Structures are given as structure tokens and as C-alpha cells.
Structure 1
């Protein structure tokens, strides 16, 4: 099956979630909001990076885990909306949904180290109170 995002490539797991321009842009925007400057790679490499970086209980790790799930779910939801409903949204719309989900998931979380510049930046970028 051909990707509903680009209409050119086969819809493989790698293409759908990380190689397609739509997914790559979304992932890049997510990484930027997390303060991470790195190129988006393949599914296997992104997963290996996640396994390496998603250890501990810091705010950054919590946000990483949430946005990983949000990225995969957002891409899958957008793919199905396009495929079954013919509705197309922009990357910014999907990112907005992910940001709202992160805000809901972290609502009420006591963020004790707001003095930490990285935590403060995460809170500002993701709209976490």
C-alpha cells in the first residue's frame, strides 16, 4: 500500500512513523520542544535512542515517554483520518493535540525543580503549569 501522507513510498512502519516528511517534521518539532537538537532517524534507531535516554524519573524522561506515545498515536490517528475519512490536517494541528495530551497527562504533577533551566524550558514549551 502507498503512504497516504506522500503518495509515493510504500507504507512501511519506518516510512509511516519516521521517514515520511510529515512524520519527520512532527518528530523534529517534538524534539525541538524538548530542547533536543538531533536528526530524526529510522524506527529502529529512534527506538534505540529512546531505550538509551528514557531512563529515570526526571521531568524530561516523563515528557520524552509521553511524546513518544503521542507521536506514534498522532501519526496513526492522522493516517486513519486521511485513509478512512478523507480529512487532512497539518503537522501543527497534530502537534497541538500532542501538546494538549501532555498537558493533561502532567496536570497536577509537582514540578519541584522549576529552577532547573531545562525543566523550566520544558514547562514553557509544552505549556505545563
Structure 2
């Protein structure tokens, strides 16, 4: 919807941005689509998440593809809901890593960010899971039942 404050979006609003390229790859102008789907950093995140969740590798071309992915990966029930939460957590974590890089000069690796995604999504899911208890070991193996 054009509301994410990437450098391209800020320029369209006549805000001067000193660095226009993606903070992760420094290869292309930072747009929403590049940051979350086209950047090599983001593709590394999606490869790690799909491997962890035991689904086939995905190729996403837009944020909408990421948001709707839980509908088409063959998961059902509580696992599908958990996967959707993981995808939202991953989007938020990428945005947070981008901001930490810009404002705090803190760089994160793909591995660091995937670990953060696992941890934050586990805490989110565990606090909302009403059908018993899920433990960390099961979450790391993506075994919901």
C-alpha cells in the first residue's frame, strides 16, 4: 500500500535520504519488494525458514506473496496458523534488522536473524496456543502435534 518507509518511498514524499541503496546488499534501490523478497539477504531468510518449516523452497516476488504463503504450502490446522505467524515475524525481523543497521550501525547475519525469528515466533505462538503446551525442542523441529 506504499506505507512502508523505504528509501524509495521517502524520496517520493520529497524527503532527502543520503543512502538510496538497500542496506543489506547495497546493490539496488531500497523498495518494499526488494527489501522483503528480492534482496539476497531476504532470500537467505526465506530459504532458512522454509527449510526449518519443512516446506519446499519458495520464490516470492512481493510482500503479498509472503503474507498469503500460508494458504498454499500444504499445511493445515494449527501448523498453518503457526507458519503464518512465523512469516509475519520474519517480515517484522527483516524490517527491524534494516532499522538497526541504519540507526544503530548494528549488522546482523542471516543466521542471527533466523535465530531471532525462531525465538520471537515461539514466544508469540506459545502465548496463544490453547491446546496444551508446546516446548522449544518441538518448535525448533517444527512439530506442532
User: Is TM-score (shorter-chain normalized) higher than 0.5?
Assistant: yes
C-alpha displacement of 1:57: 6.3
Corresponding residue to 1:89 among 93, 105, 108: 108
C-alpha displacement of 1:17: 0.3
Mapped partners of 1:99, 1:29: distance in 2: 11
Structure 2: segments with no counterpart, 5+ residues: 1-19
What is the TM-score with the length of structure 2 in the denominator? Answer: 0.69
Secondary structure, aligned partner of 2:58 = coil
Q: Which moved more, 1:47-56 or 1:85-94?
A: 47-56
C-alpha displacement of 1:49: 4.8
Question: Which residue of 2 is the match for residue 21 of structure 1?
Answer: 40
Q: Judging changes above 3 Å, is the alpha-carbon distance between structure 1 residues 44 and 123 closer, same or farther for their aligned structure 2 residues?
A: closer
Rg bigger for which structure? Answer: 2
C-alpha displacement of 1:35: 0.8
Structure 1: segments with no counterpart, 5+ residues: 113-121
Secondary structure, aligned partner of 2:43 = helix
Kept in 2, the 8 Å contact 1:14–1:42? The answer is yes
Corresponding residue to 1:104 among 123, 126, 129: 123
C-alpha displacement of 1:53: 3.0
C-alpha displacement of 1:43: 1.0
Q: Deviations over 1:17-39 (max 9, x none)?
A: 01101110001111111111123
Number of residue equivalences: 122
Q: Judging changes above 3 Å, is the alpha-carbon distance between structure 1 residues 126 and 99 closer, same or farther for their aligned structure 2 residues?
A: farther
**Comparing both structures, which one devotes a greater share of its residues to helix?**
1
Higher relative contact order (CA 8 A, sep 6+): 1
> Are 1:66 and 2:85 an aligned pair?
yes
